[in-house]
Chains A and B, each alone.
Chain A
Amino acid sequence: MKSWWWKAVGVLLLLYVVIVGLHTPLAPALVHVSEDKLSPGRADVLVTGYNTRFTADAPQAWLENDDQFVCATSATAERDDRLRVVFDVPAGMRRDLSHLVVRSNGRTLVFHDAFWNPAKGDGIAGTGCTPPEEDSAEVFEFPDRSVLYETIRNLFFHVPMWFTMMWLMTVSLFHSLRTLRDNDLEQDRAAVSAVNTGLLFAFLGLTTGSIWARNTWGTWWTSDPQLNGAAAVTLIYLAYLVLRGSVNEMDKRSRLAAIYNIFAYALMIVFFMVLPRLTDSLHPGKGGNPAFSKYDLDHHLRTVFYPAVAGWVLVGTWLYTLRRRARRIEAWLDDEAHA
């Protein structure tokens, strides 16, 4: 119990992440409207929702334009995800774009900048309506973000891969420093085991990232500072393995590999931390793009994301200790064979 409890914690956390992360529904949202321009007069709009249950109650709909409201004359649910809304559009709304708001099953769904308003003016009189009051029933669900949609769940897999890789490479750095200080082959075995496991996570990170990019940006790979950084880091550690492979003398190998590892790690930090911030990047978190932080990572995502990071790091560490033990046994068997 003493030495393996954290492995169990890691596995349980990942179990929780897989179950809750894949099972939690996305919040209902409006994804499409049939018109993009509302001229004054009668307008008939077909609204498409995602994860909505329009037929379950009588939805209400209104337009919002600069804090002025226009309520729909009728809102009829055709299907659970399709709503026909009729407006009597007045002239003179102040902004170019109006939001569409639908209220259904106690939830308020907003389609931002849904319609272009060709008859701009100084505001509307008389026809404004008062939207119904909000009742905030808290439901556990993930936000429905444009471009991401259901792939938002990849957050629990793609991002922790890189965190785990960084962690394992840091472990490897620590053992490389000790290799140089103590001239200890056991430290060298630890360093290379951490790099091996870290590379596994790097490849998983590249794969999950590539799949995510395909489904959101529409391409498997794109030239982007963050992506180039990931590729360079993977190459550096592959080169580390090549270096190890090309030296036979164990003592010399441990020292050369440790020196290269420290050099590579310092430049990797430079690459990962600084370079993507110098330029604009498509990737979240870099160059003016919001990360999944502050307002962007909502607290429902957080309750799965943090356990995911902890779980992957723990399981990654477990894998690393297994590799390290296997290497120790191999070395011991080698010694036996030569003795």
Chain B
Amino acid sequence: MREYETVYIASPQLTEAQVDQLNTKLKGIIERHDGRLFYARNLGKKNLAYRIKKQTKGTYFCLDYASAGTCIVELERSLMLDESVLRFLTVVKAEKVDVDARAAEIEARGEASPVVEEREITQKEMAEVTEAAKEE
């Protein structure tokens, strides 16, 4: 068992029901492979840094879970076939993971809640960031 993190960008044109359907489908795949989902997070609707499939915005989702490698194959396949997913990336977070200990740790930090909305980064904030970078 390894701990993985998958981030995917859903098309902004999807309705809430369609997004829920996509999320439950992915969670179902993890459960089917005896994986353990630590948290699923909605990172919010953000402006993309460049256009993907002619879209300038996208809704970001983040899954953190422990599972076997076979789960990743199916998860990535279903993400690839889904045309409403603009892009996805899976990253190994830890080679060996004690599932219950990790779940307790995330629970303790209060990150286990399924959906955490983050507000969109405004143009003004982006300008501030680039200015700070310039000063450095």
Q: Do A and B come from one complex?
A: no
Chain A interface residues toward B at CB < 8 A:
none
